[in-house]
């Protein structure tokens, strides 16, 4: 730990993890578009491979541009270290990878990004892992679901597509009692609105594709480690706390302490899974993060204005935005995300499936896009797109009933957003 006073978020988002380029003085982080990095000599190479000295070897593992982004995200989340990877979904696998073995399970919230539900329901089975989905408002049920094969508890801080905020402190206490780490997907909130580590999370995962980059240009992901979990307290995490055969018998926790998870993720996770972020992508995300707080304040203010207008509109049945006083999760904002409940929510439109399809066909300023967290306002009708394969019952459970449209509110003039929704709703419900 340095003796420097902790700088404010607005300073860290511009400066953390970066300095003028030592080779050229370039003030902006250069895009180090190089696959390999020259060793000083054979002894230097040996020290790097032994993790005795930190440096650059090969860009599947480490790269200076990606490294700057890793350090910046770690600083913004208050973590010991971070690893970036190729997408948010890659980050989720990278977070679970050091913890899980065949036969192990993760206890996960029923309220997760749809793609995560699919990944956890079907795809991780191929690794011999499984997920148990539980209602995270029922902490007793979460505690009961943790068994001797559980290796992590997983939820979102503000759950995509909005309307739900997790009581992170309560869930962290349950995970802690079960002797397993809490992993929080903080994509929808961003570190500006919520710092899960301050609420007891061990690992924080991000899809940097969304607000961190903020302009819909590149996919990316990150795993941040708090550095606070004692991997050696039980025999549950042999890959981190006993000699690891995959890295010539290194005991990561013993050798690297609070950086054990981060080094494991690079030295084994990126080395063998190869879900690497490229330096060009890291550069776009570094650019985006510089204005994160400014954008998030505007996203939140716009979301509140638009959601409030929609809630009072007779063509709308329901608006699920935790920033509205009518939300059952409104009272969690003060503790979990005091600067606001994000900018994603769903609306239920009177007129059902047909009206929703007409609505998404009639907008002019909003874009019909599967992405979210863009500077532009986006919307999608999940039942006819992302959740098309599901039964009506599954669609309803996923918050993607036929009459539901998901909105991702951008940073435009809110009056223009309201005018666009107004004309589209008129067309949809005529
Ligand atoms: C988009 C998203 C993901 C997946 O991220 P990709 O970058 O698309 O792989 C995971 N979690 C949440 C909450 C998301 O919004």
Q: Does residue 394 surpass a pLDDT of 80?
A: no
* pLDDT number for residue 80: 98
Q: Is the pTM of this model over 0.85?
A: yes
Check pocket membership of 160 for ligand 1, CB cut-off 6 A: yes
Ligand 1 atom showing the smallest separation from residue 220 Cα: 7
* pLDDT number for residue 395: 77
Q: What angle do CA 303, 421, 115 make, to 5 degrees?
A: 60
* Contact yes or no for 277/301 (Cβ under 8 A): no
* pLDDT number for residue 4: 60
Instruction: Determine how β-strand 164-165 pairs with β-strand 150-156.
Output: unpaired
- Sign, CA dihedral 375-379-385-390, equals positive
Q: What is the mean pLDDT of residues 119-126?
A: 95
Q: Which helix (H) or strand (E) holds 235?
A: none
Given pLDDT bands bounded at 50, 70 and 90, which one contains residue 375?
very high
Q: List the 130-134 sheet strands across, edge first.
A: 81-85, 221-225, 203-207, 182-185, 150-156, 105-109, 130-134
Check pocket membership of 221 for ligand 1, CB cut-off 6 A: yes
Ligand 1 atom showing the smallest separation from residue 219 Cα: 7
Q: Does residue 37 surpass a pLDDT of 50?
A: yes
Ligand 1 atom showing the smallest separation from residue 208 Cα: 7
Phi, then psi, of 297 in degrees rounded to 5? -60, -40
Which of 24, 103, 115, 71 shows the shortest CA–CA distance to 266?
Answer: 71
Given pLDDT bands bounded at 50, 70 and 90, which one contains residue 104?
very high
Greater pLDDT, 308 or 394: 308
Question: What is the percent of the chain with per-residue pLDDT over 90, rounded to a whole number?
Answer: 87
Residue whose CA is at the smallest distance from ligand 1 atom 4: 88
Residue 78 Cα to ligand 1 middle (Å): 21
CATH of 292-429, one of 3.90.1150.10, 2.60.120.10, 3.30.390.10, 3.40.190.10: 3.90.1150.10
Which of 361, 372, 359 shows the shortest CA–CA distance to 410?
Answer: 372
Q: What is the mean pLDDT of residues 153-182?
A: 94
Helices and strands per DSSP (H, E), number in the chain: 18, 14
Residue 429 Cα to ligand 1 middle (Å): 32
pLDDT digits (tens, 9 = 90+) for 256-265: 999 999 999 9
Residue 41 Cα to ligand 1 middle (Å): 41
Check pocket membership of 156 for ligand 1, CB cut-off 6 A: yes
Residue 113 Cα to ligand 1 middle (Å): 7
Greater pLDDT, 152 or 112: 152
Instruction: Determine how β-strand 130-134 pairs with β-strand 105-109.
Output: parallel
- Please give the biggest Cα pair distance in the chain: 75
Check pocket membership of 115 for ligand 1, CB cut-off 6 A: yes
Domain boundaries defined on the chain = 9-288, 292-429
Question: What is the percent of the chain with per-residue pLDDT over 70, rounded to a whole number?
Answer: 98
CATH architecture of 9-288: 3-Layer(aba) Sandwich (3.40)
Check pocket membership of 210 for ligand 1, CB cut-off 6 A: yes
By most ligand atoms within 8 Å of CB, the mutation choice from 96, 109, 115 for ligand 1 is 115
Residue whose CA is at the smallest distance from ligand 1 atom 11: 113
Q: What is the mean pLDDT of residues 102-130?
A: 94
Q: Does residue 279 surpass a pLDDT of 90?
A: yes
* pLDDT number for residue 1: 42
Least confident piece of the model among 8-17, 83-92, 161-170, 185-194: 161-170
Which residues fall within 8 angstroms of residue 416, CB to CB, at 6 or more apart? 365
Residue 186 Cα to ligand 1 middle (Å): 10
* pLDDT number for residue 280: 97
Given pLDDT bands bounded at 50, 70 and 90, which one contains residue 3?
low
Q: At what angle do helices 279-289 and 64-77 cross, to 10 degrees?
A: 40
* pLDDT number for residue 387: 80
Residue 116 Cα to ligand 1 middle (Å): 8
Q: At what angle do helices 292-311 and 414-429 cross, to 10 degrees?
A: 40
């Amino acid at each position: 730990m340095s003796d420097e006073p902790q700088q404010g978020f607005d300073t860290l988002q511009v400066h953390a993890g970066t300095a003028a380029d030592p080779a050229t003085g370039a003030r902006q982080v250069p895009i180090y578009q190089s696959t390999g990095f020259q060793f000083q000599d054979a002894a230097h190479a040996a020290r790097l491979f032994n993790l005795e000295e930190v440096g650059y070897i090969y860009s599947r593992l480490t790269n200076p541009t990606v490294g700057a982004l890793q350090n910046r995200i770690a600083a913004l989340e208050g973590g010991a270290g971070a690893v970036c990877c190729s997408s948010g979904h890659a980050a989720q696998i990278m977070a679970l990878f050091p913890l899980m073995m065949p036969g192990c399970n993760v206890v996960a919230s029923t309220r997760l990004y749809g793609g995560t539900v699919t990944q956890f329901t079907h795809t991780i089975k191929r690794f011999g892992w499984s997920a148990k989905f539980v209602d995270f408002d029922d902490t007793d049920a979460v505690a009961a679901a943790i068994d001797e094969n559980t290796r992590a508890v997983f939820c979102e801080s503000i759950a995509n597509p909005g309307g739900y905020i997790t009581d992170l402190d309560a869930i962290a206490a349950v995970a802690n009692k079960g002797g397993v780490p809490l992993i929080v997907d903080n994509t929808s909130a961003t570190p500006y609105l919520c710092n899960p580590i301050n609420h007891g999370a061990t690992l924080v995962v991000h899809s940097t594709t969304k607000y961190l980059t903020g302009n819909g240009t590149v996919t990316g992901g990150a795993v941040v480690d708090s550095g606070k979990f004692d991997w050696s307290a039980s025999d549950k995490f042999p890959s981190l706390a006993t000699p690891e055969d995959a890295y010539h018998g290194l005991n990561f926790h013993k050798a690297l302490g609070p950086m054990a998870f981060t080094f494991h993720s690079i030295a084994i996770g990126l080395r063998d899974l190869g879900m690497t972020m490229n330096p060009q992508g890291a550069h776009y995300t570094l650019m985006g993060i510089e204005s994160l707080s400014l954008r998030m304040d505007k996203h939140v203010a716009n979301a509140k204005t638009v959601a409030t207008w929609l809630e009072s509109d007779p063509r709308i049945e329901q608006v699920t935005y935790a920033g509205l006083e009518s939300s059952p999760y409104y009272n969690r904002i003060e503790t979990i995300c005091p600067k606001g409940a994000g900018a994603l929510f769903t609306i239920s439109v009177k007129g059902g499936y047909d009206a929703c399809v007409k609505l998404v066909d009639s907008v002019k300023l909003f874009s019909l896009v599967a992405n979210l967290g863009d500077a532009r306002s986006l919307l999608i009708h999940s039942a006819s797109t992302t959740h098309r394969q599901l039964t009506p019952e599954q669609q309803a459970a996923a918050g993607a009933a036929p009459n539901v449209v998901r909105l991702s509110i951008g940073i435009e003039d809110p009056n223009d957003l309201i005018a666009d929704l107004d004309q589209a709703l008129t067309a949809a419900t005529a």
